[in-house]
Structure formats: structure tokens, C-alpha cells
Amino acid sequence: METTTTTGSGRYVHGYSGREARRLGDQADALAALLHDGTAYPAGSRVLEAGCGVGAQTVHLVSRSPGVRLTAVDLSGASLDQARARVAASCPEAAVEWRRADLRDLPFPDAAFDHVFVCFVLEHLPDPRAALAGLRRVLRPGGTLTAIEGDHGSAFFHPDSAHARAAIAHQVVLQAAAGGDALLGRRLGPLLAEAGYARVGVVPRTVYADGARPDLARAFTRDTFTAMVESVRDEAVAAGLATPADFDRGVADLHRAAGPGGTFHYTFFKATAVNPQ
């Protein structure tokens, strides 16, 4: 089982455990409409998914764009194996080429794709602007890029909790130490413009879960966001950022926000942009 891989100057903070694969699947399924509405590519178009992971977004991509010729790449061979199995199980008719590759040095000729889709990957890269410029190289002039990223600064909840806010802040610090940026969503638009894209448009897509939507509170607040924070517990303690008791209290308080009477807010940023002619 792969547990870590390097991403240039850093380490992929979430790792590759079975638990993380389940979390990515929960996240993609709970947010499918929120993230994928408005994204559909014509049959026959050549689409690249950069950093497909275990295929959690891939199944939604191909089900909304039947007939596309999708190429999905990731650094992790084990994740690609899981992605292949996931897509075969839920969309057996989909034509997907799976490639192990670093999206910062893609083994494709210039202008090889009509569209690029990248979700929750730029936040793990030490130089997301260079990565976006590299993705532009393989996009044909006039082709589109869609990028989706979160921003942990958009997380607020009720009942409020200093311990929960601190636990989230520790995750942000650890991701930065691994070369990433858990606050990337707010600068996604400027990054695309700096990387040479035109017609950059960014739409905030907000998740708000409360007692009226207990399924969303479970799937997003508890099984996606809180699980992600909880996964860095040992690292945060080892780094001296928190005591075990304080971290556990923060996680327990996030669980309260997912429970009866609790509320949770988070904003994703979905950007589309065009490679200039």
C-alpha cells in the first residue's frame, strides 16, 4: 500500500490509505451536482483529467459526458488501479485511457486535448501556476480548462469552537509544510490569468449543511471535511501543533456541527478558462 508520494518539494498530505480513498468517494458523491453541474463535453472530444486519484470525480465526469475520449492521469499507480475498477463498475461503456504521469511534465504532445479537468489537485502542488501553464501546453487553442479547489478559510460552523478552528488551522499548516495550499480557492482565478489563460471565470459553489439536510451533514461535514481534518491528527501532535486532547476536542466539536442543531458552511471555487487562440 502506498502511503505517501512526493510532489516535487513536498509530500501529498492526505496520503493513499483505503480510508482516504473512501473519503474521496464520499466527497465526490455528496458534491456531484454542486461540482459537476455545468460541465459536459461533446461526444468525441478529447478530455484530460489531471490528478484523477481513485476515480471519484472520473465517474461523474464520464456519466455527464457520454462518448468523450477521456485520458486520466495520476502520480499514483495504486490510485489509478482503483480508478480503473471504479469506472469499470459504474460506467463500463466509458472509454478511458489511464496513464501514470506527473501533470507537471505530461507525456503528451502540444494541443493534444480539447478540454482539461482538474479537481482538488492544485492545492497540493508547490507551484500551481507552473502546473496550470503545463496543462495549457497540452490544451488546443480555444480549448477549455475547468479547475475546482476548496479553501479552508471558508469553513465556519455552529456551534462555533476555538478547538475546531485550531484543528482546521493545523491541517492548513501541515499542507503548507508539504508544499501545498489549503487556502488556494481564493486565488484560483488570478493563478489562471497568470498562467496565460483567457476568459477566466470563477464561481463560488457553497455547501451549507444543517438539520434540514442530515444526509449532507453526514456525507460532507462528517465524512468528508471532518474526516480530512481528523486524518492529520497524529502528524499535528507529532509536530507539536496540538496536544492529543485539544485536537480530539476540535474533532468532536466538528462532529457536533454535523449533528442535530449544528450547521456547517464551506465554499468551493469552480473556474473555467480558455487557452487563447
Ligand X SMILES: C[S@@+](CC[C@H](N)C(=O)[O-])C[C@H]1O[C@@H](n2cnc3c(N)ncnc32)[C@H](O)[C@@H]1O
Catalog residues that contact ligand X under the rule CB under 6 A.
Answer: 7, 12, 14, 24, 28, 51-53, 56-57, 73-76, 79, 102-104, 119-121, 124-125
Prior bond of 190 cis (ω within 30°): no
State the nearest-atom distance from the C-beta of 79 to ligand X, in Å: 5
Nearest approach, Cβ of 242 to ligand X (angstroms)? 23
What lies within 8 Å, CB to CB, of 219 at 6+ separation is 26, 29, 30
Closest distance of CB 44 from ligand X, Å: 23
Shortest spacing between CB 131 and ligand X, in angstroms:
7
Closest CA to 205 of 163, 268, 249, 145: 268
**Residue 74 or 181 with smaller CB distance to ligand X:** 74
Q: Of all helices (H) and strands (E), which one includes residue 95?
A: strand 95-100
Q: How far is the CB of 268 from ligand X (least distance, A)?
A: 11
**DSSP one-letter code for 153:** G
Q: What is the 3-state secondary structure (H, E, C) of 36-88?
A: HCCCCCCCCCEEEEECCCCCCCHHHHHHHCCCCEEEEEECCHHHHHHHHHHHH
Instruction: Write down the H helix ranges in 152-277.
Output: 162-177, 188-194, 214-216, 227-230, 233-238, 244-258
Alpha-carbon span 22 to 37, nearest angstrom: 22
Q: Which residue is nearest to ligand X (CB)?
A: 53
For the CB of residue 129, give the shortest distance to ligand X in the complex, in Å. Answer: 14
Closest to ligand X by CB, 52 or 236: 52
Residue 232: strand, helix, or coil: coil
What is the rounded CA–CA span in Å between residue 248 and residue 250? 5
